[in-house]
Amino acid sequence: MSKIFYGWVIVGAGIVMTCIGVGSMLSLSIFLQPISEATGWSRTGISTAALINWLCMGIGSFLWGTLSDRFGTRAVVLCGGLLLGAGMVTASQAGSLTQFQIMFGVPVGLAAGSFYTPLTATTTRWFTRNRSLAVALVSAGFGLGSTTVGPLARWMITTYDWRTAMLVIGDLAWLVVIPAALLVREPAVAGSGAARAAAGGDGGEFTVGRALRTPQFAAIAFTNFACCAAHSGPIFHMVTHAMDNGVSAMAATTVLGVAGVASLSGRILCGLMADRIGAKRMLLAGLALQAVAVSLYVFTRDLASFYAVAVVFGFAYGGAMPLYAILVREYFGGRVMGTVFGAVGSVATLGMALGPWAGGWLYDTFGGYFWLYMGSFGIGLGAVAIALTFRPPRPLPAAVPSPVAAG
């Protein structure tokens, strides 16, 4: 019986941690209306916690990515699991809007940044073949988070209240993420030129400073920023928009779940296609489809139309997201992957931060989400335009097959 390649264990642990880590943060969209009704806090004020989440996740992505390059990913994700549970538990006891914004925004955002970037960088070091698929599977935790943590939160809110629901999710983060983190390890390094080549590095490997000054880095980072700015608002306000149109609370939550499942299939299928036709071509197609899908929300009025648009929208944004990591790996190699991809993530999370807050402000100002979707459509087209400026990746040294870089 052949031994299971340990890289797939890393992928499995990455899916679980990304699911719980990012799913806990994204569950704020499920809590938005119940918290507002129970406390009287405005949607803009509660959405500000999501703004803080993404800003802190951006800072955390860069810091955690650098720390993972230096000290290893296991230590980073262990710290993230501890911080995530603490943030959810303390936020559940917040007595004022300001306390909630700080307690949910800062620790949960920082914790969420500790999972995707370091785990993605580690995954790319384990694989040569099937690399795009492996990275896509790790990123699938984003979609799974929406389909698991969201409905769980909705059920507990209905059965108990929002404070109990948030407390339980915080406890769940401790119980699941910490054991999964203990499974993470780096691939063995043989000290030979072959092993270094398999990791994507040799004497010509990029340094962090050199990588951050290249036009390739700017193109990847700003495309990711515009991509995230285009889809973050529609994702965050998806449930409340459906409820505003007469869809029941649980049915509206399932719309977010459908988008999550569609994003999962998008990540896997686009990852497979990227291994065949290249990450840049696949990214351009995903960005164009995302822009079109966002515009369709202007016409959604009933549950069936919400489901239909969620499928297209989820597939599009899910398919695009893991491709940025592949482009970073192709352009800059593996040695500084955690730091450089963390820097890309820091820029991208600014886009993720703006969408939820802007959607809340536009709703409170104009009484609806029309301008959120129109603005997101325009920004989505901008992402396509920036992606067209990508230059071909620099040639990396030919990788010599090694036992650790299989898969």
pLDDT tens string 26-35: 888 889 889 9
* 139-169 pLDDT, tens digit each: 877 778 777 888 899 899 999 999 999 999 9
CB 324 within 8 A of CB 403: no
- The pLDDT confidence band at residue 196, using thresholds 50, 70 and 90, is very low
Given a cut of 60, whether residue 128 has pLDDT beyond it is yes
pLDDT at 396: 45
pLDDT at 202: 39
* 388-406 pLDDT, tens digit each: 988 765 554 444 344 444 4
| C-alpha torsion sign, points 91, 118, 351, 132 | negative
pTM of the model: 0.70
The residue-averaged pLDDT of 66-83 equals 89
Q: Which of 83-92, 170-179, 227-236, 327-336 has the lowest mean pLDDT?
A: 327-336
Q: Which of 18-32, 170-184, 263-277, 278-292 has the lowest mean pLDDT?
A: 263-277
Report the amino acid identity of residue 170: G
More confident residue, 99 or 26: 99
The residue-averaged pLDDT of 254-272 equals 85
DSSP per position, 251-297 = HHHHHHHHHHHHHHHHHHHHHHHHHHH-HHHHHHHHHHHHHHHHHHG
What average pLDDT does the structure give for the chain?
A: 85
User: How open is the CA angle 307-313-318, to the nearest 5 degrees?
Assistant: 120
The residue-averaged pLDDT of 351-361 equals 85
| Rounded percentage of the chain residues whose pLDDT exceeds 70 | 91
Residues 161-190, buried b or exposed e (16+ Cβ, 10 A)? Answer: ebbebbbbbbebbbebbbebbebbeebeee
pLDDT at 26: 84
pLDDT at 367: 87
- The pLDDT confidence band at residue 205, using thresholds 50, 70 and 90, is low
Report the amino acid identity of residue 25: M
The residue-averaged pLDDT of 202-218 equals 76
Instruction: Catalogue the long-range contacts made by 390-398 (C-beta closer than 8 Å, 24 or more residues apart).
Output: 390/216, 390/219, 390/220, 390/223, 390/280, 390/327, 391/215, 391/216, 391/219, 393/216, 393/327, 393/330, 393/331, 394/331, 396/200, 396/330, 396/333, 397/197, 397/202, 397/204, 398/197
Torsion angle (degrees, nearest 10) of CA 31, 35, 38, 44: -140
Q: State the residue for tokens 């300001």.
A: 98
The residue-averaged pLDDT of 204-215 equals 78
Given a cut of 90, whether residue 297 has pLDDT beyond it is yes
In order of their start, the domains of the chain are 6-387 (1.20.1250.20)
